[in-house]
């Protein structure tokens, strides 16, 4: 990394990663990622046109790494099939969204 | 070396079969897995549980563990004299080196060239294994998140020497949190995780960013909310009030006939966004009345009551 911090990055929607990097960072295989895209858990940037194109050209929001690592942990720790994993992740994402909305509403309430 | 009672951690008998061990693990994993659990200390408890399962589900590791004997949890112990010959591969080292080793690290080495059941053979064999990724949580103040900050993060490192000895140490990694980071975001620091083996790359470090509660501001995404108390006459007549922001005080205009809970947006005074621009600051008005009124104030409120036809509960009738 040299002297600086130039490789460090916040995982946000503004930064994209390739399929290969997502696989390496998450611990999932590319095949597993493709299947989770088919189940709608991961979404390549550019949505429908991306899924129609070559798989190796897919790019993802770098936030997908966080979800991918969660998927990898859950799959290994609970011995889940990819389909069961897709259901669990869908519910966890839904819970996270609701917790986010709750936190936003709480921030607006008087103390 | 400190003893860990893996059977007790999983809540099973020492005679438990594979199925019973798996069932006990699943039950506890369901309860403590950090991705699904809200239990206090879930992460620490799950680490213990998964460590116990890693050892007990593997016949070789379980045999090596059982052969060490049974002690009290946390008790210092040494494996029996013949344990090393039976399970340690490649020679070298010796029990004098086991004092600082973590029991799980020792048992994890089984089958990776450092330790294995059966004695002589393939000790020190080559294998490629990417370094472990580390995840740590950094608690930042709202000001640190707004301006960016540098942190020094101590990380435990378990490394294996060429002769198969496991070594524990601590390394410090310096990371820069860029401005605009907010609650729940992750910073990825490639190559700053555990060391890779056999030429495989080092792991990565992930920093989970958590914001500490602020005395004044509440954070919602990149927006900030600030409660602004105003007097009843300021709400009624309007006023210009000074409020704090993360970079100094600004003046905001409270419009006449304001209500409690009304939000005034101060554009661009929230947290910076990673993609550019800033969130907003919302001043949330709170109408407060003096807890003690002077005689003159009471008189004036009384006059207002007589003069006003305002009925705040008109919609009840």
Q: What is the pLDDT of residues B250-279, one digit of tens each?
A: 999 999 999 999 999 999 999 998 778 999
Residue B277: both structure tokens together = 């621009």
| pLDDT per residue as tens digits for the range B137-148 | 999 999 999 999
Q: From CA B190, how far away is CA B130, in angstroms rounded?
A: 12
Are A110 and B221 a contacting pair at CB < 8 A? no
User: Which pTM was predicted?
Assistant: 0.77
Q: Which of B187, B219, B221 sits opposite A10 (nearest CB)?
A: B187
Q: Which of B26, B30, B218 sits opposite A107 (nearest CB)?
A: B218
Say yes or no to pLDDT of B92 above 80. Answer: no
Q: What are phi and psi of B48, to 5 degrees?
A: -60, -45
Are B187 and A8 a contacting pair at CB < 8 A? yes
Are A66 and B186 a contacting pair at CB < 8 A? yes
**Percent of chain A scoring above 70 in pLDDT:** 87
| pLDDT per residue as tens digits for the range B67-85 | 988 888 888 888 887 887 7
Contact by Cβ (8 Å): B161, B167: yes
Q: From CA B223, how far away is CA B281, in angstroms rounded?
A: 6
> How many Cβ pairs closer than 8 A exist between chain A and B?
82
CA distance A98 to chain B (A): 13
What residues of chain B lie within 8 A of the CB of A104, using their CB? 220-221
Beta strands B223-230 and B217-220 are antiparallel
Nearest to A51 by CA among A33, A66, A65: A33
What residues of chain B lie within 8 A of the CB of A1, using their CB? 190-192
Contact by Cβ (8 Å): A34, A44: no
**Which secondary-structure segment (H or E) carries A87?**
helix A82-108
CA distance B206 to chain A (A): 9
Identify the bridge partners of residue B227 per DSSP, sorted by sequence position: B284
Asked if the C-beta of A1 comes within 8 angstroms of chain B's C-beta atoms, the answer is yes
Calculate the CA dihedral of residues A58, A60, A64, A65 and round it to 10 degrees: 80
In angstroms, what CA-CA distances link B251 with B101, B142, B239, B240, B265? Answer: 61, 21, 10, 7, 12
**Under DSSP, is residue B238 helix (H, G, I), strand (E, B) or coil?**
coil
Say yes or no to pLDDT of B238 above 60. Answer: yes
Asked if the C-beta of A59 comes within 8 angstroms of chain B's C-beta atoms, the answer is no
């Amino acid at each position: 990394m040299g002297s600086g911090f130039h490789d460090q990055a916040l995982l946000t929607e503004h930064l994209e990663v390739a399929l290969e990097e997502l696989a390496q960072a998450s611990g999932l295989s590319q095949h597993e990622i493709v299947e989770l895209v088919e189940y709608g858990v991961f979404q390549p940037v550019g949505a429908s046109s991306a899924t129609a194109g070559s798989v190796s050209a897919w790019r993802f929001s770098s936030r997908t790494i966080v979800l991918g690592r969660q998927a990898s942990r859950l799959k290994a720790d609970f011995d889940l099939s990819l389909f069961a994993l897709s259901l669990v992740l869908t519910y966890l994402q839904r819970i996270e969204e609701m917790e986010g909305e709750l936190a936003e509403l709480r921030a607006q309430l008087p103390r | 070396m400190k003893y860990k009672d893996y059977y007790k951690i999983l809540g099973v008998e020492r005679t438990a079969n594979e199925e019973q061990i798996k069932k006990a693990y699943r039950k506890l994993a369901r309860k403590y897995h950090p991705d699904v659990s809200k239990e206090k200390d879930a992460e620490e408890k799950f680490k213990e549980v998964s460590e116990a399962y890693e050892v007990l589900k593997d016949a070789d590791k379980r045999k090596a563990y059982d052969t060490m004997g049974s002690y009290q949890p946390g008790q210092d112990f040494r494996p029996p004299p013949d344990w090393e010959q039976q399970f340690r591969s490649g020679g070298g080292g010796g029990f004098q080196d086991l004092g600082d080793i973590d029991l799980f690290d020792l048992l994890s080495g089984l089958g990776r060239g450092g330790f294995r059941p059966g004695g002589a053979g393939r000790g020190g064999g080559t294998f490629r294994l990417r370094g472990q990724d580390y995840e740590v949580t950094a608690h930042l103040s709202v000001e640190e998140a707004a301006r960016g900050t540098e942190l020094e993060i101590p990380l435990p490192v378990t490394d294996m020497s060429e002769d198969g000895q496991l070594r524990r140490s601590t390394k410090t990694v310096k990371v820069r949190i860029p401005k605009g980071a907010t609650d729940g975001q992750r910073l990825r620091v490639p190559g700053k995780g555990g060391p890779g083996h056999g030429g495989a790359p080092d792991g990565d470090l992930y920093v989970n960013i958590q914001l500490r509660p602020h005395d004044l501001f509440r954070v919602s995404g990149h927006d900030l909310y600030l409660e602004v108390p105003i007097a009843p006459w300021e709400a009624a007549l309007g006023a210009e009030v000074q409020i704090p922001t993360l970079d100094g005080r600004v003046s905001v205009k409270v419009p006449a006939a304001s209500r409690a809970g009304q939000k005034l947006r101060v554009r661009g005074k929230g947290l910076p966004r990673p993609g550019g621009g800033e969130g907003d600051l919302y001043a949330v008005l709170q109408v407060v009345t003096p807890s003690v009124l002077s005689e003159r104030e009471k008189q004036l409120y009384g006059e207002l009551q007589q003069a006003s036809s305002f009925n705040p509960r008109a919609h009840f009738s």
